[in-house]
Amino acid sequence: MKATIKTLITLVIIAMTMSINAQVNVDEYEFEGANCTSIMVGRKASTDGSVMTSHTCDSWYRTWMRWEPAADYEENATTKVYKGTMHTMSPSETKGLPVAAEIPQASHTYAYLNTAYPCFNEKQLAIGETTFSGPDTLVNKEGAFQIEELERIALQRCDNARDAIKTIAELIKEYGYGDGGEAITIADTKEVWLMEIMGEGPDQIGGIWAAQRVPDGEVGVSANIPRIKYLNRKDEKNFMCSDNVEEVAKKYGLWDGEGELIWYKAFGSSYSNGKNFREREWFIFNELAPSLNLDRNAEDIPFSVKPEKKVDVRDVMRLLRSYYEGTDMDITRNLKIVDRNGDTIVSPNANPWMGGNEQKVYNMLKPGTIEFKRGVAMSWCSYSFVAQLRDWMPDEIGGICWIGVENPGQSPRIPVYSGCTRMPSCFDRCGHGHYDDQTVLWRYRKANKLAQVNWGYAKDIMYNNIQRYEDKAFEEMPELEKKVEKLLKKGEKDEAVKMLNRYTADFEAATAETWKEMEHHFWEKFWTGF
């Protein structure tokens, strides 16, 4: 019996320590297209009247980011449309990418934050993204545009969500959509929309799309499943869509033409299992509106819900950190031990982001120990953001993009104002594929991965530091915004911009130093092993 226990302990220790050296392989899990989550908040659903959208960029996507400046162009200027921008190691590598098309340039383009999926511009327009794949029969690789390039051009040319939708629709129609099913969450200071896009099939350059507005007093979620149900073309305030939806659906046998077309059923993916939601959507809605008693086994749930309490930007940050801790969807719930006080508790070594091999070890020892549920926060996230858009302030300080790199369940949020013009130098290169402690990714990854091997001990330390920096930001930023607004009124915009850039750089440096200190502390704590 003692030998068996020793063997079990050895296997557990080996399984848990494997995660420090290995990144999670998404292919280990039996789901398709389940990367990225976006939460949308209408202005009357938020505590301060801001509109919000967000994005967790879950998978191997570049982590270099930079502000692209506004520019003016001559009448006959053109711009190139690229493929493959998301996996480059630095901005210079984009020069060698395949050119899918060359299209007329706008006379003026706005400054925007160039992330793997471009997300934010100087006019307080923000775009989140989630992939839902959609039917393979609709993909046309000859279409010029992938979703990230559509986002880029929309941010360059538009200052509001409706115009962004129309611009994207026009580009798709003229140059073609060459990507799989994608959902983008488009927000400005007044409203937020969900737009879902697919190709038109291999024999037609173009695409199909639908967009639905999240009501001002409600919150929506997009998490790798089409969420739009009916296309109410008569309600132009809340719906937009391409004219060819029904035609394409019938052509490819996705709808029989009987009754009203249900968008998410016609164009769903295998991950959806015929539904318009899974764990993430249900969990977030249940957290915000528990009295609705939404059924996890239902076929669908509402497109959006009215939260029982108004939502603060920190609530969105908290929800993006979630791995369903303490619920029946928490994958660590069965990893119990008896502590020195005789109490049965979840093992400190239980890791909500354990890799597939670790899960297999536990399930080999006792089948059913681990039931994988895709959480909101995942360890394979490259970066994430929460965009907060405020119409009562000048654009320079009205928009805040709260950037996090690596696991959103572990990393701090760095505030980037819409009036910024540059990112800290650690954002100049991608950190994937090699160790480079000068890149922003590795400034946080080391502590994050160490924390995972003894999460029961490390999580309180990490959460306290996350909370500390959130508190710091919300204490300091109102005064910063007052100073910047005074400078803007005096016409001293250059000085105002310098102040915003400096604040972001100083904030990132402070958080990175704290995460370095945590890394050292964890090594000291775990000197005898994990």
The pair of three-digit structure tokens given for residue 60, joined into one six-digit string: 């191997």
Is 385 domain-assigned?
Answer: no
- Residues 446 and 342 placed together within one structural domain of the fold: no
Question: 483 in a domain, yes or no?
Answer: yes
Q: Are residues 166 and 284 in the same domain?
A: yes
Centre a 10 Å sphere on the Cβ of residue 400 and count the other Cβ atoms it contains.
28
Same domain, 274 and 229: yes
* Same domain, residue pair 250 and 355: no
Q: How far, in Å, CA of 144 to CA of 171, rounded?
A: 9
**53 and 156 both lie in a single domain:** yes
Q: Which pLDDT score is estimated for 96?
A: 82
Residue 408 included in any domain: no
What does residue 398 show for φ and ψ, rounded to 5 degrees? Answer: -70, -35
Give a yes or no: residue 79 inside a domain. Answer: yes
- 112 with 51, same domain: the answer is yes
Neighbours of 94 (CB within 10 A): 14
The closest alpha carbon to 87, from 100, 79, 98, belongs to: 98
Angle (nearest 5°) at CA 434 between 430 and 438: 55
Kindly state whether residues 167 and 36 are assigned to the same domain. Answer: yes
243 and 314 in one domain?
yes
Q: Do 16 and 75 have their domain in common? A: no
Alpha-carbon separation of residue 435 from 158, 432, 445 (angstroms): 38, 8, 10
On whether the CB atoms of residues 206 and 227 are closer than 8 A, the answer is no
Based on the fold, state whether residues 135 and 78 are members of the same structural domain.
yes
Position 495: which residue type? E
Asked whether residue 484 is assigned to any structural domain, the reply reads yes
Tokens of 99: 């050119």
Is there a contact between 199 and 240 (Cβ–Cβ < 8 Å)? no
| SS3 call for 337 | strand
The whole-number pLDDT of residue 33 equals 53
Q: What is the pLDDT of residue 412?
A: 98
The answer on 207 and 167 residing in a single domain is yes
pLDDT of residue 95: 79
Q: Is residue 218 located within the same domain as residue 286?
A: yes
Q: Which of 132, 19, 37, 21 is nearest to 381 (CA)?
A: 37
pLDDT tens column, 386-433 = 999 999 999 999 999 999 999 999 999 999 999 999 999 999 999 998
Over the stretch 116-160, which tens digit does the pLDDT of each residue have? 999 999 999 999 999 999 999 999 999 999 999 999 999 999 999
* 426 is a domain residue: no
Amino acid 244: pLDDT: 97
Q: Tell me which residue range forms the domain holding 342.
A: 2-26+331-365
- C-alpha 290/C-alpha 414 separation (Å) is 30
Instruction: Give the chain's residues under pLDDT 70.
Output: 1-34, 530
Query: What are 388's two structure tokens?
Result: 């907060």
Residues paired with residue 182 on neighbouring β-strands, in sequence order: 131, 197
- Residue 370 within any structural domain of the chain: no
Q: How many domains does the chain have?
A: 3
pTM attached to this predicted model: 0.93
51 is a domain residue: yes
